[in-house]
Chain A
């Protein structure tokens, strides 16, 4: 016998990113009635692949891209939906020892650019030795700000430069904005991509779901056991439950009646934004670019890391993604500066001039439906922050990568949060009306 037979009949999901779509998919599969409201004219949120200007049908991922080995929910979902994952690439050195951290694994000859030059030979060995010694003599504390550690460990300017790209790659913050949790806790390991771009997963999740594009939400109001979502165009949609699956910085732009609790708003507005985005270009010298950049090249310049975004394409031109964040995100404000920065990194890595066929860029900071690439929760508070963000407010549930502690900022976190929010909705019993209680439960 099933203990609870009825589930809430209708849910509105706000946001058609990975979190919202995962939640909607799960609810629809469980027989719930779901409407997804998406502010943009497209699906996917910060999982956004474009092909427009690229030759040979190649694509670039302007947002989320990497699939790591422990992304269990994402990998399972891809399997269920028939979304193909690529063969793995290893960013860390192949001979990284089991007890070495990511940070040590990234210390690789010929893959770090400092002052416009690749660190090789003696120059690399000096930096490598210095950093390893510093890690041994002054271990990086889990909650310590990375830049504070580089000062405490008395790293030379060159070693600081070498690590600046590595740290910014891991979190997309300037070194003074974040601790080094992701560099010292475990390893990156095998890195896969979704073949054809992250949009393949987005499209598969969205199949058959009632999604309304170009429908920004203005307010979410709860009263009388119902939730009403009001759109910017003045339309209202009522449901039993609402799942708010928008990025963390967008939550405070929505109206809530009753207002969200002070603690939640306080926690949201105290988050640091991972500001910036990507510049992506396609280069004609595909083989040379793949050879030099498939495993990623770090730099202390505006581009903190550049990598081949479609390594599973083995012929023809290659697409390279470069990240810009923190103070350097201003290079994304001009048409040429970001692309020039990427060209410089690619040429330095390849060792000869390259021919750019096409380029595109995306700054997520001024994007009103994102306001940032995302956030990395600080090591010291990540558990308590994520718990607070994930907690439902009466009939309003919250999904999004930022509601999953350590994984905040990843596609895996988005998928997990969507599954969790859908399960929250599904396990709440449907509302019983007074008349129904009287007629079915009360002994007359």
Chain B
């Protein structure tokens, strides 16, 4: 039995690896000239071989699958960190991120004001418990947050999930399930994809245009080649999936689920600065703002007192994401405002995820109808299987979710093989009897 996997992101690579380990014939087709999908890392642009993670960054406590896979493949992590201080009673809530440095309208809130705002939000969370589906602005209004607290509270949507407030539901931030103990991949976030891809047949720069049924088999067509196989795994993000032709047409429920799953619109700006120790120390865990850089944090200090600083850039339709100079300058400004250090930028890169046709956005926004949506997105259509962070039953939208979906879909293919073998052997038995 043979399988084509479309997409060499974490989901596709995990699926291919498991299938190959089970003795299946697998080929992975990747549209881009590199593996890793939205865990892309650029090397060689920063001094001292420091990686620039343009996509996924963090692994969180509880994401056991990715932790185990890293252990198995010898992929190393950075020292453990947190992304924010906890509330005074030790809990991590939607108020906790406000205990980091907060920049509103370009001004850094002084620590006393910031803590007062965080306390106000925490009191409101206890007094008016949010519904998981309530949007952030709806809850902030219902809970009667003061104008400044409301503004600060809404700013956190720029951090997670790099989305606009109206589209973000309280389940994302309360209770806070990420950032209490987390790690980055020490050699860059694509180091896991590179390790997974080792030994697999991955064909780069092969964007798939059409998946069609060909008698009892499936044919997958790229711009230059065509592959006929038994099973197809579509491991592309939501939007790129909508750019692939399917013959026969995908059923209504599948198209409906895909179009009901927007992707968060934003990007990342990454730069390396001198005076690394000073910046890292003054920045603390992370900072957030309602300006062009929604969220800011730093990697561990690198050689010769350099540091790589990462900023999330929600697409506020102000042109920043589409203008490298402005985006890097916005990062400099944020570093200066938060740390007081005059930034000396050594190099920088901007990544606009919605602008890439093979990404379409940062991650899926599954707020709409979880978990019904996820189950529809992940359900197979005959021999066509669907994987990706948006199809994960646990830790959707993360690297861990992508891996989970890849393993799930590999098991689906193996299950179909066993069913088919059963059918074949029964036929053989019947033929012999006759």
Contacts and interface: CB of A to CB of B under 8 A. Distances in A.
A148 B137 contact: no
Enumerate the 5 nearest inter-chain pairs by beta-carbon distance, A residue then B residue, closest first.
Answer: A255-B141, A151-B245, A270-B368, A333-B319, A366-B317
Contacts of A270: 260-262, 365, 367-369, 373
A365 B132 CA distance: 26
13 contacts: A148-B246, A153-B245, A232-B147, A255-B138, A262-B131, A265-B135, A266-B369, A270-B369, A275-B317, A327-B355, A329-B317, A366-B317, A378-B259
A150 B169 CA distance: 35
A371 B242 CA distance: 24
A156 interface: no
Contacts of B132: 262
Q: How large is the interface on A (under 10, 10 to 19, 20 to 34, 35 or more residues)?
A: 35 or more
Given A177-B242, A254-B137, A266-B133, 17 more contacts: A145-B255, A148-B249, A151-B245, A230-B141, A252-B137, A253-B138, A255-B139, A259-B138, A259-B142, A260-B138, A265-B133, A266-B369, A270-B261, A270-B365, A270-B367, A273-B262, A380-B255
A249 B166 contact: yes
Interface string A141-152: 101110111111
A269 interface: yes
B210 A269 contact: no
Nearest to A154: B210
Contact of A253 (B131, B165, B354): B165
A252 B134 CA distance: 8
A265 B134 contact: yes
Interface in A88-146: 138, 141, 143-145
B233 interface: no
Given A270-B262, A329-B317, A330-B322, A148 B142 contact: no
B280 interface: no
Interface in A170-229: 176-179, 218-219, 221
Nearest to B370: A266
A151 B244 contact: yes
B259 A366 contact: no
A252 B141 contact: no
A253 B259 contact: no
B133 A333 contact: no
Contacts of A230: 141
Interface of B: 131-135, 137-142, 147, 164-167, 169, 209-210, 212, 239, 242-247, 249-250, 252-253, 255-256, 258-262, 316-319, 322, 354-355, 365, 367-369, 373
Contacts of B369: 266-267, 270
A334 interface: yes
Interface in A266-285: 266-267, 269-273, 275
A253 B138 CA distance: 6
A37 to B, nearest CB: 15
Contacts of A150: 245
B317 A378 contact: no
A147 B255 contact: no
A381 interface: yes
A151 B255 contact: no
Interface string A239-255: 00000000001101111
A391 interface: no
Given A143-B255, A262-B131, A152 B166 contact: no
Contact of B247 (A152, A178, A262, A273): A152
A199 to B, nearest CB: 25
A240 to B, nearest CB: 21
A141 B166 CA distance: 33
A352 B247 CA distance: 44
Contacts of A334: 319
Nearest to A220: B141
A235 B322 CA distance: 40
With most chain A CB atoms within 10 A of its CB, the pick from B132, B253, B259, B316 is: B259
Contacts of A365: 317
A252 B209 CA distance: 37
A87 interface: no
B168 to A, nearest CB: 8
B367 A257 contact: no
Interface string A378-392: 101100000000000
Q: Which among B139, B368, B373 has the greatest number of chain A C-beta atoms within 10 A?
A: B368
B166 A250 contact: yes
Contacts of B142: 219, 221, 255-257, 259
A366 B319 CA distance: 11
A412 interface: no
A277 to B, nearest CB: 10
A145 B252 CA distance: 10
A263 to B, nearest CB: 8
Interface string A424-440: 00000000000000000
A352 to B, nearest CB: 32
Nearest to A256: B138
B290 to A, nearest CB: 13
A144 B244 CA distance: 11
A179 B260 CA distance: 13
Contacts of A330: 319, 322, 355
B242 A148 contact: yes
A363 interface: yes
A363 B317 contact: yes
Contacts of B210: 151-152, 154
A148 B262 contact: no
Contact of A381 (B256, B261, B317): B256
Most buried by A among B131, B142, B262: B142
A144 B255 contact: yes
A346 B321 CA distance: 29
B166 A371 contact: yes
B367 to A, nearest CB: 5
A339 to B, nearest CB: 15
A141 B259 contact: no
Given A148-B243, A330-B322, A178 B131 contact: no
A259 B164 CA distance: 19
A253 B134 CA distance: 10
B134 A333 contact: no
Contacts of B246: 148, 152
Given A253-B166, A333-B318, A143 B252 contact: yes
B166 to A, nearest CB: 4
A70 B258 CA distance: 31
A337 to B, nearest CB: 10
Given A144-B255, A148-B243, A148-B244, A327 B262 contact: no
A151 B209 contact: yes
Contacts of A363: 317
A262 B132 CA distance: 8
Contacts of A257: 142
B316 A366 contact: yes
A313 B36 CA distance: 56
Given A269-B365, A333-B318, A255 B167 contact: no
A257 B139 CA distance: 9
B294 to A, nearest CB: 15
B357 to A, nearest CB: 8
Given A152-B247, A254-B141, A265-B135, A179 B255 contact: yes
B143 to A, nearest CB: 8
Given A249-B166, A333-B319, A269 B368 contact: yes
Nearest to B138: A255
